[in-house]
A = this chain, B = another copy of it.
Amino acid sequence: MVEKVKANCNYSGRVVEGPTNPIVTPLLTDLYQFTMAYAYWKANKHQERAVFDLYFRKNPFGGEYTVFAGLEECIRLIANFKFTEDDISFIRESLPGSCEDGFFDYLRGLDCSEVEVYAIAEGSAVFPKVPLLRIEGPIAVAQLLETPLVNLINFASLVATNAARHRFVAGKSKSLLEFGLRRAQGPDGGLSASKYCYLGGFDATSNVAAGRLFGIPLRGTHSHAFVSSYMSPDEIIDKSLQSADGSSSCEDFVSSVQTWINKIQWSNSLRGSFGETNHSELAAFTSYALAFPRSFLALVDTYDVMRSGIPNFCAVALALNDLGYKAVGIRLDSGDLAYLSCESRKFFSAIEKEFGVPGFGKMGITASNDLNEETLDALNKQGHEVDSYGIGTYLVTCYAQAALGCVFKLVEINNQPRIKLSEDVSKVSIPCKKRSYRLYGREGYPLVDIMTGENEPSPKVGERILCRHPFNESKRAYVVPQQVEELLKCYWPGSSDKPREDLPPLKDIRDSCIKQLERMRPDHMRRLNPTPYKVSVSAKLYDFIHFLWLNEAPVGELQ
């Protein structure tokens, strides 16, 4: 079974809790990290100081931005990185051949006190090739971290970006609810999705465990099964309901609902719009209202939205209204959501007018059923009356693109820059321990990210600087930044006494994510043909990359 590393390490005077999911341990890595660690150890190379960059090469979902997420979980792992004796026995069994004992003693003493982690703030808008994390440390331990760090960041960033994209299409005024747990990729796929969809701008989740672990607001009412579990209103035994202010009591709420359904049926504006409504549905709604009179929200599509669900809902809502309660609204989970939301709105407005119930026309309408970016966009184009969206499968599994390709590349060892070549230029890594900056223009928009060598002077406000495309010599531009933001900050100083950034609460990360995305130039954010955000290197770094490249690449021979 999974053992949770309980030792919460002291992190510059503060305790950093272990990873949220106890299965995240130093064993959650690829076997080759251990075979390499052994080979490094055997060659006495394991303590050589290496620098790795963690970055991705392409924004997901055909867009031009990504939301960076997963950093806190990475730091939690790093702060608590320690092998148990059981872990070590298992590693010993798993390595091929027989490895020397000294290696296992080395693993026994291993932690991340010699590792330093520099990262962009969680929740930031980020772009291809710019390091999200820079890991410095002894090569063997940095290498062991590769798999879990990439794992923790890949999906977190992917699903946060997906959430942000859904928010972008839905608009600021809509309520966005994540309902994906049942269709997620496993239990943690669900839990991570709930966390990072909230980070990316969702308002609430249905996932109770996520609500508890991360303080995300929870939402939920009832399902179709609840409706079909009732046969008729006769089943309801306890029919009494106190008024909202406690001053009076209705002894037979069931009859009151029945009276209302008749009134609606014979009202001037609605007469003939429906016949007999479904009794089991009416029973279920009534029963649910008796349990939650202050938060009555009904799923209205079990039988027929306009001929049964909506009239039944209105009868119960009006009976509640008589007692001073205000119903919350309906949920539509099938059919033509644009049409049904508009028809429902008309029905509610007719009720408001006919029976003089102020605000009834503004009844909340939630829509769900396989929603995604495209369907939200289509709803907007068609016109609808939906106030909230419940989004599941397509959101949490990132159906449109199920993986982000984060990589972890060696850029320096023993102060020597390293480059990874590839026939595919987009896969060539940018060597050297680097700094990166975001340069802002006159209108307050971020203009370009620039990477420089570690010891180059930083770009200065008001000073012209040449920004070059890392691999295309003809692409370059002078920029005079109005604001310069250094992107990589120290989140894990190891045992050094460097200052370190706080890990902010999820709510704050969410707020800053929303703010940052709003600050981007709109053409980078649009769904159709967005403009790529520019990522560049300094002139000096450019020259160095190409010097190294020529140096390392074999000269071909055409035959």
Q: How far is it, in angstroms, between the C-alpha of A52 and the C-alpha of B294 when the chains are bound?
A: 30
Q: Tell me the residues in window 171-202 of chain A with beta carbons closer than 8 Å to chain B beta carbons.
A: 179, 181-193
Q: Is the CB of A45 within 8 A of B229?
A: yes
A506 at the interface (CB under 8 A from B): no
A191–B50 CB distance below 8 A? no
Asked whether A44 and B237 contact (CB < 8 A) given A148-B187, A189-B188, A302-B420, the answer is: yes
Shortest distance between the CB of A23 and any CB in chain B (Å): 5
CA distance A206 to B33 in the complex (A): 10
A96 to B220, CA, bound (A): 10
Cα A288 to Cα B403 in complex, Å, equals 31
Residue interface mask A355-379, B partner, CB < 8 A = 1: 0000000000000000000000000
Q: Does A248 contact B (CB under 8 A)?
A: no
- Could you tell me if B32 and A220 are in contact, using CB atoms closer than 8 angstroms? yes
Cα of A21 to Cα of B334 in the assembled complex, Å: 34
Chain B residue nearest to A38 (CB atoms) is B291
B-side contacts of A113, CB under 8 Å: none
Interface residues of A in 402-420 (CB under 8 A from B): 402-406, 408-410, 413, 416, 418-420
Among candidates B39, B48, B143, B427, residue contacting A291 with C-beta atoms closer than 8 Å: B39
| Chain A, 142-186, CB within 8 A of any chain B CB | 143, 146-148, 150-152, 154-156, 159, 179, 181-186
Q: Return chain B residues, CB-CB under 8 Å to A410.
A: 224-225, 228-229
Given contacts A45-B235, A334-B423, contact A187 B23 (CB under 8 A): yes
Q: Please indicate which of the listed interface residues A207, A218, A302, A403 has the most CB atoms of chain B within 10 Å of its own CB.
A: A403
Task: Given A181-B151, A304-B554, check contact A187 B187 (CB 8 Å).
Answer: no
Q: Smallest distance from the beta carbon of A85 to chain B beta carbons, Å?
A: 13
Interfacial chain B residues near A288, Cβ < 8 Å: 35, 39
Residues 206-230 of chain A, each 1 if its beta carbon lies under 8 Å from chain B, else 0: 1111011100001111111110110
Q: A36 within 8 Å of B by Cβ? A: yes
Measured in the bound complex, the distance between the Cα atoms of B163 and A225 in whole Å is 33
Contact B209 A25 (CB under 8 A): yes
Give the contact-size bracket for chain A: 35 or more
For A412-447 the 0/1 string (1 means CB < 8 A from B) is: 010010111111100100000000000000000000
Hey, which chain B residues are within 8 Å of A32, CB to CB? 206, 220-223
Within 8 A of B (CB), among A100-122: none
CA distance A148 to B191 in the complex (A): 12
Is A487 in contact with chain B by the CB < 8 A criterion? no
Q: How far is the CA of A335 from the CA of B427 in the complex (A)?
A: 12
A7 part of interface (Cβ distance < 8 Å): no
At the interface, yes or no: A458 with Cβ under 8 Å from chain B?
no
In whole Å, how far is A143's beta carbon from the nearest beta carbon of chain B?
A: 7
A383 shortest CB reach to chain B, Å: 22
Q: Name the B residues within 8 Å of A39 (CB-CB).
A: 222, 226, 287-288, 290-292
| Residue with the greatest number of chain B CB neighbours at <10 A, chosen from A38, A334, A554 | A554
CB contacts (< 8 Å) of A184 on chain B: these are 151, 154-155, 185
Sample (28) of A-B pairs whose CB atoms are under 8 Å apart: A23-B23, A28-B207, A28-B208, A29-B209, A30-B207, A31-B211, A31-B218, A32-B206, A32-B220, A39-B226, A39-B287, A40-B226, A42-B238, A44-B238, A45-B235, A96-B294, A97-B292, A97-B295, A147-B182, A151-B184, A151-B186, A154-B184, A183-B404, A187-B188, A225-B408, A228-B420, A229-B418, A393-B405
Which are the 7 A-B pairs with shortest beta-carbon distances?
Answer: A188-B188, A32-B220, A31-B220, A96-B295, A39-B291, A397-B402, A185-B185
